Structure 1
């Protein structure tokens, strides 16, 4: 009788583990998409900010070199 309950317990454990694995995969995929979108937005914003800083910095160097 104990082996029957043990087999049922192992079956329930396997089902719960499979469901948990699927949920973890879904959460991981959603997290990856959110992080990727955030990285793309930050890259766009940083390119705009750094691009204007670089241009003004180069302009100052040229201006300083001519004096």
Structure 2
């Protein structure tokens, strides 16, 4: 009689473990997706704030200064 109850207990334990593993996998996938979305958004914001604007303004200032001086000097002489 004890072996029957033991087998039933092991079966219930296996079913509960399988359900728990499925729930843990679903939660893990959802968490990974949310973290990835936030990483992409932060990467886009950081590139716009610290990457292109600074480097773009540096290059545009250098080009405009060089172009303005060269044109002005050539026109004066």
TM range (shorter): 0.7 to 0.9
> Which runs of 4 or more aligned residues in structure 1 lie more than 6 Å from their structure 2 counterparts after TM superposition?
none
TM-score, normalised to structure 2, is: 0.69
Q: Give CA-to-partner distance per residue, 1:5-50, whole Å, 9 cap, x none.
A: 1001000000000000100110011011101100110011001011
Q: How far apart, in 2, do the equivalents of 1:3 and 1:57 lie? A: 79
Shift of 1:54: 3.2
Larger radius of gyration: 2
**1:11 corresponds to:** 11
TM-score after normalising by structure 1: 0.79
Partner of 2:23: 23
Count of residues paired in the alignment: 63
Match of 1:54 in 2: 55
CA RMSD of aligned residues (A): 1.8
> Which consecutive unaligned segments of at least 5 residues does structure 2 have?
67-77
Counterparts in 2 of 1:36-47, with a 5 A limit?
36-47=36-47
